[in-house]
Amino acid sequence: MTAAQINEPTREADIEAIKQVVAAVEHSQNNGLPDEFIDLFRADAIWTTGHGRRLFGREAISVFTRQVLPGGMRDTSVTFDIEHVLFIRPDVVAVKVRQVYQTPDGQEVGTPMFVMAKEEGQWRLTACQNTSVLNDE
């Protein structure tokens, strides 16, 4: 048995756990749950919003999220689909996501990048950049 075969079940479990983090981002946004969203981040995380606002640390992310998330998704829903997972190290991944907002005015597409680190068995959002897509091709 090769090292790759030995690690395959672990990688599959990690990918499933990463999918659960992305699903929790989607769930927290669709349901206006700032605590659920904030709990996904490391204490020293970096978050750049879709409009370029840079937030450093979970406390800054918390302040911003508590201002915009409750009620911010009124008449809107969002879906997140993972497009690619790159294992940088066994405990660090870059996750490319396709984000689609359904709004009363139509569809808005985003392309977030979530860098996650695995700490104490838990995948945490570590450095994230949300980017709007002007022309979805």
* Comparison of pLDDT for 79 and 105, the residue scoring more: 79
Dist CA 119 CA 135 (whole Å): 37
Q: Please name which of 23, 26, 61, 25 lies closest in space to residue 42, comparing C-alpha atoms.
A: 61
Instruction: State how beta strands 54-56 and 41-48 pair.
Output: antiparallel
Domain ranges of the chain: 3-129
Dist CA 34 CA 28 (whole Å): 7
The secondary structure of 32-46 as a DSSP string is: T-HHHHHTTEEEEEE
Percent of the chain with pLDDT over 90: 68
Span 83-129, pLDDT tens digits: 999 999 999 999 999 999 888 888 888 899 999 999 999 999 999 99
Residue 2 in contact with residue 86, Cβ under 8 Å?
no
Q: Give the pLDDT of residue 76.
A: 84
Model confidence, pTM:
0.87
pLDDT at residue 57 tops 70: yes
* Range scoring the smallest mean pLDDT among 10-14, 35-39, 55-59, 95-99: 10-14
CATH 3.90.25.10 correct for 3-129:
no
Task: Find tokens 């915009």 and name the residue.
Answer: 68
Q: Give the pLDDT of residue 94.
A: 97
Q: Is 123 helix (H, G, I), strand (E, B) or coil?
A: strand
Dist CA 11 CA 42 (whole Å): 21
